[in-house]
Amino acid sequence: MNSQAVSAIRNIVFCGHGSAGKSTLVDQLLISAGAVSGPRSVDAGNSICDSDELEQHHRHSIDSAVTHCEANEKHFTLIDTPGYPEFLGQVIAALRAVEMACVCVHAGDGIQVNTRRTFEEAGRAGVGRGIVVTRLDDPKADFGTLLHDMQELWGPAVVAFNVPLGQSESLRGVASALDLPIEARDAAINLAHAHERLVERIIETDEALMEKYFEGEMPDPATLATLLHKAVAAGTFIPVFCTAATSSIGLSELLAGLALAAPAPCDLQRTAKQAGDAVPVSCTPEGPLVAQVFKTRIDPFVQKLSYLRIFSGSLSKDQMVHVQGVRKDVKMHPLLRCQGSETEAIETAQAGQIVATAKMEDLHIGTSLGDITMPSIPFPKPMVGLAVSAKTRGDEKKLALSLNKLVEEDPTFQLSRDSQTSELVMNGMSDLHLQLLRERLATRDKLEVETHDPKIPYRETISSPAEGSYRHKKQSGGRGQFGEVHIRVYPMPHDVDINEFATKSRFPAMRDHHYDAANNFLWVDSVVGASIPGNFMPAVEKGFKERMGKGVVAGYQLQDLAAEVHFGKHHPVDSSEAAFKIAASLGLREVVQKAQPSLLEPLVTLHITVPDDHVGDVYSDMSSRGGRVLGSESVGGGQQTVACQVPLRCVSHYDRTLSSMTGGQGSYTMEFSHYEPVPQNIQQEIIASAKIAEEED
C-alpha cells in the first residue's frame, strides 16, 4: 500500500443494541465484496465475526471482531462489536481505532437502550457517525416513522442517504437520495424531499457552494460526492443507510455509500502528547511512528494477540520501537492482517491501517507505540462484584493466571484483593458480564470457580474527640516488654484542608505529622521531653496504622480522624519497637471506643435511563431502598434519565430489578459517591454479625 493509498482506507466500527443484526450485516458485506465465501450465519455457528466458542453457544457477540475487504476502490476495515451494555468497553476501544461509527438500528424494534449509548460514545470519540437501519424486511418495519424518531432524538443532521423501496415483506430494494432516480414511486418516504435535505446538510461544509445553492444553482451529484466525507467528519451530516442483510438488499449500496461518506484517516485531526505537550498527529507513512493498542485477544493456546491502530508512520517485522512504560526499545514481532479469528502475515503496515501482532507481553490495551503518546482510552468503571475462589484445592495459581488473562482482554473487568476480608473480588459491568466470564474460564481454561457476593466495604469513624492512655507491660522471664502511650483523637471532616487542620493552634506541641489521604487520617507527634524516644516513634505510627486497618467496632477500616500521641513512658531495658507498636495499636482502640465510634457505608450515584412511563416506578423503587432522587432530565425519544444516590448494599443486583421493572428497556450507570453513617438499626446488625464471625474464627 503506497502513501497515496492512505486516502483509500476506510476504518468503520458497527455498533448498536443487541440483536440489531450487526454481525450478520458484516458477514454479508464481506461475502458481497468477495472477501469470504458464503454462506455465513450467526445461527449456523460459522459467522466470521462470532468465532469464539461462547459466542457460537449464546448466538451473540461478546468480543469485537476485526475484518477487512476491498470494494469501490477502497480498503475497508470493518469492526463488529457486541450489542449488550455489559460489553460497552469493546465498543469504546474500537471507536478509538476508526474514523466512522455505523450505529445499527433494528427496523422493527426501533431505537433501543444501547443504540443511544453507542451513538453518544461515538460522539465522545470524535468520529464521524452514520446510521444503518437493519432488517427492513421485518414485518414491523416502518422506515418513515423510524426516521422521524431518529431525527427527533439526534437532530436535523440525520438524513436518509437511501430509502427502502417497499415495506417489510414487500421490500425489493433501496433507492439513492443522492442520485435521485426517476423510478422511486414506492419509496418509503418522499425521495425528492430526502434529496433536498441531504443536499442542504452536505453543502454546509462549503460556503461558496452554499451561496450558489441559495441563489438557485443546484450542485451535481459528483460535486456532492466529493463533500460527503467532510460533512460526516464535521458532524453536520449523519447519513442513514437502509439494509436487509439476510435478503441481500442494500449491501452493495451500503459499501458504495461508505466509500463516499466515511472519512479517510487523514480527514480526522487527532492530537497526542509528546514530552508533555499536545501535538497534532499527521496521518502519513513518512511521519513519526504513532500507534496504539485497542484490543487484546488470548486464544486457547495462550497466544496473545495485540491489535494496533497505526495513526502515523509505519511498522515492520523486527523494527525496534519505543513502547509506552518500557525503558528499552522493543523488537516488533511479525505483523498480521485479521479476518475475524483468522490471521495472515504481512511484511509492513503504515498510517491508517489496523493490524495485529502476537506474543508481545509489553503491549496492553491503551499502550502507545512511538515517542508520541495517544490519549488514554476512557473505560467505564465496573461496579458489580463477586468474590471468587477456585473450586478445586490446588487451583489457586491457575485461577490467578486465568483471571489475569481476562483482565488483559477486557478493560471493564477488574480484580481486587480486599485487605480486610482477604477476598479476591472480580468486578464487572453486570451479573451477565461476570457470568459469561465465568463460562470463559470453564470453556477456555477448564477451570471451575465458586463465587458469592462480596462483603460491603464499610468504614469506621469517630463522632467526638477523646483521649486516654495505654500501657503495654509484659514480664515472663528474661527481657520484658514495656511501652506506654497517651493519645488524643479528633474527628476530621473528609473535605478538610490538611494545611489548615494540622496547625500549631490545634496541636501546639506538634513536632511532626504524616497524612494518609486515602483514609483521611492524620498522625501527629507532639511528644516533648523524650518521654518516648524518637527511635520508637515510627513503631508508634506503625501501630496506629495497623489499628486503622483492623478497625474497632466491627473490623472495618477506620477513616476521617486525627490521632495525636502527646506523652508516654519507656523503660531503658524492656522498651522496644514491638512493645510500642502494640501499645499504640491497643491504645488507639481504647481511645476510639470513647469517641462515639460509628459505621459508614458507601453511597453510589446512579443515572437510570428509562421510558417516560417508568419514571414513577424508579422513584418508588429508590424510596424503598433508602435512596435519594437528585433529579431527572429528558434525553429524547420518550426517555428520561433519573439521578439518584443510594447505599451500595441496596443495589448490588440492581440490573436484575431494572430489567424486570422496565421489560429490558432500562439502563443505568453507577459510580462511587461518598460515605455516610449507617442507619442505627443496620449498624447494630452489622456489629452483631461481625462479633459472631469473630467468635467462629
Phi, psi of 340 (to 5 degrees): 70, -125
* Domain at 277-369: CATH architecture: Beta Barrel (2.40)
Beta strands across the sheet bearing 342-346? 342-346, 335-339, 354-358, 304-312, 290-298, 368-369
Instruction: Name beta bridge partners: 647.
Output: 603
Q: What is the pLDDT of residue 597?
A: 96
Cα dihedral 515/516/517/520 (nearest 10): -90
Q: What is the pLDDT of residue 377?
A: 95
Pick the CATH number of 600-681 from 3.40.50.460, 3.40.50.300, 3.30.70.240, 1.10.1740.10: 3.30.70.240
Whether 600-681 and 384-452 are alike in CATH topology: the answer is: yes
Q: What is the pLDDT of residue 419?
A: 63
CA distance 325 to 368: 9
Cα dihedral 397/401/406/412 (nearest 10): 70
Looking at this protein, which amino acid is placed at residue 444?
R
**Domain topology for 384-452:** Alpha-Beta Plaits (3.30.70)
Q: What is the pLDDT of residue 10?
A: 97
CA distance 408 to 330: 19
Q: What is the pLDDT of residue 180?
A: 67
DSSP state of 58: H
Taking the whole predicted model, whether its pTM rises above 0.75 is answered as yes
Within 528-659, strands assigned E span 561-569, 597-611, 628-636, 639-647
Q: What is the pLDDT of residue 609?
A: 87
Q: What is the pLDDT of residue 2?
A: 45
Phi, psi of 605 (to 5 degrees): -100, 125
Closest by alpha carbon to 490, among 452, 469, 520, 514? 520
CA distance 474 to 369: 60
Alpha helices (H) along 551-669: 577-594, 615-624, 654-662
Spans of the chain below 50 pLDDT = 1-3
Give the domain ranges of the chain: 8-267, 277-369, 384-452, 460-595, 600-681
The gap between the terminal CA atoms of the chain, to the nearest Å, is 67
Whether the Cβ atoms of residue 570 and residue 483 lie closer than 8 Å to each other = yes
Burial (CB count <10 Å: 0-12, 13-18, 19+), residue 78: buried
CA distance 256 to 266: 20
User: Which 3 state secondary structure label does DSSP give 678?
Assistant: coil
**Domain topology for 460-595:** Ribosomal Protein S5; domain 2 (3.30.230)
Q: What is the pLDDT of residue 1?
A: 45
In this structure, what C-alpha cell is assigned to residue 597? 465510634
Q: What is the pLDDT of residue 636?
A: 67
CA distance 421 to 455: 8
| Backbone torsion region of residue 131, taken as left when φ is above 0, otherwise alpha when ψ lies between -120 and 50, otherwise beta | beta
Query: Does 8-267 carry CATH code 3.30.56.10?
Result: no
Residue with cell 452536505: 202
